Amino acid sequence: MKLSKLASEIAESPTFALNEEARLLRERGEAVINLGIGEPRNKTPIAAMLSSGAKLSSGEIKYTPPDGLPSMKKAVIRYTEENYNRLVAPENVIVTNGAKQSLFNIFYSILNPQDEVVIIAPYWVSYPEMIKMCMGIPVVVTPEDGTFTPRFEDIERAVTSSTRAIIVNSPNNPSGAVYPAELIEKIVDLCERKGIFVICDDIYHKLTFDGVVAQPAWSFTKKDVENSNVIVVNGVAKLYGMTGFRIGWVVAPRALVRVMTNVLAQTTSCVSPIAQAAAEGALNGLQSVVEALRLQIQNNRDVLLQEMKTFNGARLIEPQGTFYAMPDLRAFTNNSVELSKFLLKKALVVTVPGKEFGMEGFIRISFAGSVKDVTEGIARIKWALDASSPNEIYIGDKKIIRDWM
């Protein structure tokens, strides 16, 4: 069978692959703890359920405009004004099948073959693959000082005449880092001087801890949305825990939105009206659900930090946002892929190799689940790696003895 060279070179999603392996182990009755998936355990907000239920009950489940229902766009416009202090028009908004489609359609709409996009490590696993799918070249900037925050000088040095955009994800998946406002300001200024886009993946923008604020890129430009180089991507998956509804959106200049609308119309046609109704309900409903989720996740983060204090050999930079942490386990091995496989086999804990995020020797763990998952998951990882931890542990109802040290 002859397949496309381009498609064949696209890497499998490591998170979906590991989650599938965990599912199969659970079906066999194994006591697996999944610290790999970025998915809050909360129930769908009641306002979202009522809104989608009303739409479904109407029986009017037909095609929608490719760029989104007018009522959904109105909700995004209100959200943008309230959270970014920016007035935008319906023509500046496109609703997509998840923020992932938003990003892909942006890349498809702005890149010509061999154009470059600067991404900052650690980065979300899909960025490089989506850029390559659009025949672009990902240019990775990796912090060299042991932190997760890049130096502006390194970002500036990575920009060439072929650069079309810099993508900024703050709060950051996978590290939980929130970039300093000064760095965001310098990136916006650089993009305006060079005439390139700054793509802001803001999917976690309200999930921050201890009073830390993820400063929006729009704060640092005097241009309006129509003439700005800033593109903002957001959605309901993370802030509202509505991962399965697959609703994202983009706020950008009209010319870009028009092209993205054509791309969406020729691929997925439109976005489900039931899912859009649910997102409208979430955006227009009581926003206390977001704060409740943030507080729950911050508590999980605090538990994680406490558990990590007794993990000899591991180094962890405190996450300031999201629901991810990225411990440095290079004291044990530099091969994060083998390490994640080892932890799944021996400790029945799902983690994601840091290599997939551009940070070899690290692993990503999610603390989006329960406190029990966090405490027991970290206890198992410590048992598997830290020689000073007890030699025996219960996994499920089985007592396991460590015999590899």
pLDDT band at 20; cut points 50, 70, 90: confident
Q: How far apart are CA 310 and CA 314, in angstroms?
A: 9
Check whether 15 has a pLDDT greater than 80. Answer: no
* Predicted pLDDT of residue 1: 83
Q: Which CATH superfamily is domain 5-43+288-395 in?
A: Aspartate Aminotransferase, domain 1 (3.90.1150.10)
Check whether 299 has a pLDDT greater than 90. Answer: yes
State the burial class of residue 135 (Cβ atoms within 10 Å of its Cβ: 0-12, 13-18, 19+). middle
* Predicted pLDDT of residue 25: 83
Q: How far apart are CA 67 and CA 27, in angstroms?
A: 40
Same fold, 5-43+288-395 and 62-284: no
CATH pick for 62-284 out of 3.40.630.30, 3.40.50.720, 3.40.640.10, 3.40.50.620 = 3.40.640.10
Please give the average per-residue pLDDT across 207-226, as a whole number.
96
Domain locations along the chain: 5-43+288-395, 62-284
* Predicted pLDDT of residue 14: 72
Check whether 8 has a pLDDT greater than 90. Answer: no
Please give the average per-residue pLDDT across 164-173, as a whole number.
98
* Predicted pLDDT of residue 10: 83
* Predicted pLDDT of residue 28: 87
Name residue 146's amino acid.
Answer: G
- Whether the model clears a pTM of 0.75, i.e. scores above it, the answer is yes
* CA separation, residue 350 to residues 20, 48, 242, 248 (Å): 10, 30, 22, 27
pLDDT tens digits for range 122-133:
999 999 999 999
Is the bond preceding 122 in cis, omega lying within 30 degrees of 0?
A: yes
Check whether 13 has a pLDDT greater than 80. Answer: no
Please give the average per-residue pLDDT across 328-354, as a whole number.
95
* Predicted pLDDT of residue 236: 98
State the burial class of residue 35 (Cβ atoms within 10 Å of its Cβ: 0-12, 13-18, 19+). buried
pLDDT band at 204; cut points 50, 70, 90: very high
pLDDT tens digits for range 266-298:
999 999 999 999 999 999 999 999 999 999 999
* Predicted pLDDT of residue 19: 74
* Predicted pLDDT of residue 93: 98
Name residue 263's amino acid.
Answer: V
* Predicted pLDDT of residue 41: 87
Taking all residues of the chain, what is their mean pLDDT, rounded to a whole number? 95
pLDDT band at 12; cut points 50, 70, 90: confident
* Predicted pLDDT of residue 173: 98
pLDDT band at 324; cut points 50, 70, 90: very high
**Helix intervals (H) in 1-96:** 5-8, 14-27, 46-58, 70-84
* Predicted pLDDT of residue 226: 94
